[in-house]
Structure 1
Amino acid sequence: MSEPTRPVIWSEGRLLGPDEPLVTAVDHGLTVGDGVFETCGVVRGQAFALTRHLRRLARSARGLGLPAPDEAAVRAGVEAVLAASGPDIGRVRITVTGGPGPLGSQRFAPEQAHPTVIVLGGPAPRSPVARVARVPWVRNERSAVAGLKTTSYAENVVALAEAYRQGADEALLANTIGELCEGTGSNVFVERDGELLTPPLSSGCLAGITRELLLEWSAAEGLPAREAAPGELAYAVLDDVVAGRAGLALSGSVRNVSPVVAVDGRPVEAGALSEAARRLFEERMAQDVDP
């Protein structure tokens, strides 16, 4: 059996081995999950859509009350990780935490803060299709961190573990008012009545980079895809998918666009528009790695 690929790690201007000490035990990212992150797929040795990801990283940091990370330093870290990685690298993850802090939820004063910035590189197995499961938990669209990509991922860990228990690779969540929201690490598109519809940001879902690009590229190419109106996509639309009256696709920075072929363990047919969206994304991604 071959050894697992070791991640490539960068922080504070240098590369580190996976066994080297990196953060203090009182880093706020460890003690209270006070941090934000981005994950980019790697295309032809480059981080895909890096500029958009860095823009969202800064937006998430502001929303959490953290200082915006030094973009030039982060880009240097990404370049160093990519240069040091092997040919099997599939993703780059950028993490920014509040840095050392008190044991409680409060932070040190801004003049005492020293955020932690880490860039990781590693493999990213991809599947052309997805299998999803419904779970009983919901997204809070009125949460203080709704729409921010934070390191507080415990809800996603629990939901995804339940999906895996059901034989799926992603869990789909409603919000508190019964609307379809998102997956634990993906946005969702419903294929219905000749359109691809994705839940609006008001549902509490993340403003996914792949979601954003697919909407832009679909508009340019005449593929009927749009953001749904608030309340237009109830969570119960998944019943229509199971019954064959609708289709489903997921989007994300590692999976790109994946038509769904099973819901709750029941096979469903990948829709023609979902397949067209997958092809369109792959074609446009091959043309420009930083759109």
Structure 2
Amino acid sequence: MSVMIWSDGHLRDEREPVVTAVDHGLTVGNGVFETCAVVDGKAFALTRHLRRLERSATGLGLGAPDQDAVRAGVDAVLAAGGDSLGRVRITVTAGPGPLGSNRAAPGTARQTVLVLAGPAVRPETARVARVPWVRNERSAVAGLKTTSYAENVVALGYAAERGGDEAIFANTVGELCEGTGSNVFVERRGELVTPALTSGCLAGITRELALEWARAAGLPAREAVRGELPFTVLDEVPAGDAHLALSSSVRNVVPVVGIDGVDVVAGPLSLELQRLFQARIGDDLDP
């Protein structure tokens, strides 16, 4: 299936140029994006994703995107793509700019806004690998969903070579942080605990909903307190003393069944959170 593309108010062909070669999103990665799952022909949790898109854009120094235009683009690609779509990606860049990292002079550039939709496979489980690189929780872009993804490409390749479909990072002070495109939940001592945002992890929409829905259902799930989840907590998983789950917009919530090439058992609370999330999705497509 081809990818549906919307730009500047119109659907575009895959072979049609939609950005200039001097777009700052291409030259230096000066852009932000969001990915939504498609459920029953709708972009799931779109309002929350658009709020985060705006937070990321303003955090990067871009102006707030035109949300009405973005919603129009989402509607257009979903209508064009039909029932086989699985994900929508919204990308906003600074638009044309200098070849270096300096921004264009205020008022001289127009943002590039792209909305794409295509297929997606939603796995039931995940396999992960720990990587030797770290997230910088004090980075200028910590917590922002930017298009600068080269670090993730390298880490994901490292994980794939070791039988993983996701890579797991520590941060600079040795705390468990996140995956390349997912948040992590550690199941131990009768509860699910996810790294706090102070670890430098992204404020995932699925993570946010999972915590909210778990609390409402009486499922023990919460953010970690400082020092509670060192990266070494992952040693407990192959030993059978803890379990892992991942959350992300395309995966939803999935238990981890392999780490660093070692098969592990899915945790009962991880499986319960997966079931709860799947059940709640149908209640409201824009919670």
Same fold (TM over 0.5): yes
Q: Find the counterpart in structure 1 of residue 206 from structure 2.
A: 210
Q: Give CA-to-partner distance per residue, 1:191-237, whole Å, 9 cap, x none.
A: 00000000000000000000000000111110000000121100001
| Count of residues in correspondence between the two structures | 287
Q: Deviations over 1:246-269 (max 9, x none)?
A: 000000000000000000010111
Deviation at 1:108, TM superposition (A): 1.1
**Which of 265, 269, 277 is residue 265 of structure 2 equivalent to?**
269
2:82 is paired with a residue of what secondary structure?
coil
Between the aligned partners of 2:85 and 2:185, the Cα distance in structure 1 is 28
**Distance (whole Å) between structure 1 residues aligned to residue 157 and residue 83 of structure 2:** 30
List per-residue Cα deviations over 1:53-88 (Å, max 9, x = no partner): 000000000100000000000000000000000322
Is 1:199 the counterpart of 2:172 in the alignment? Answer: no
State the match for 1:283 in structure 2. 279
Question: Which residue number corresponds to residue 20 of structure 2?
Answer: 24
Verify: 1:113 aligned to 2:101, yes or no.
no
CA distance in 1, matches of 2:119, 2:184: 24
Higher mean C-alpha displacement, 64-73 vs 79-88: 79-88
Task: Normalising by structure 2, report the TM-score.
Answer: 0.99
In structure 1, the residue corresponding to 2:272 is in which secondary structure?
helix
Matched-pair contact (CA < 8 Å) for 2:41–2:82? no
Greater Cα offset, 59-68 or 105-114: 105-114
CA deviations on 1:9-58 (whole Å, 9 max, x unpaired) are 00100000110011000000000000000000000000000000000000
Cα offset, 1:105, TM superposition: 0.4
User: What percent of counterpart residues are identical?
Assistant: 71
Runs of 4+ deviating beyond 3 Å: none
SS at match of 1:278: helix
Q: Which residue identity does 1:271 align to in structure 2?
A: G
**TM-superposed deviation, 1:107:** 1.0
Matched with 1:131 is: 127
Query: Where do 1:83-98 residues align within 5 Å?
Result: 83-98=79-94
Match of residue 157, structure 1, among 148, 153, 157: 153
Q: Does 1:35 align with 2:31?
A: yes
Q: Which residue of 1 aligns with 2:75?
A: 79
Distance 2:153 2:85 in 1: 23
1:244 and 2:225 are equivalent in the alignment: no
User: Counterpart amino acid of 2:233?
Assistant: V
Structure 2: runs of 5 or more not aligned? none
SS for the counterpart of 1:42 is strand
Show the counterpart of 1:7. 3
User: 2:262 matched to 1:257?
Assistant: no
Counterpart of 1:262, as a letter, is: G
Deviations 1:143-202 (A, max 9, x none): 000000000000000000111111110000000010000000000000000000000000
Instruction: Report the alpha carbon displacement of residue 94 of structure 1 after superposing the two structures with TM.
Output: 0.1
| Other-structure match for 2:217 | 221
Whole-Å separation in 1 of the counterparts to 2:151 and 2:226: 24
Equivalent AA in structure 1 for residue 102 of structure 2: Q
Distance (Å, rounded) in 2 between the aligned partners of 1:85 and 1:259:
30
CA–CA separation in structure 2 for the residues paired with 1:9 and 1:230: 43
Which structure 1 segments of 5+ residues have no match? none
Matched, 1:44 2:40: yes
In the aligned structure 2, how far is the partner of 1:258 from the partner of 1:113? 41
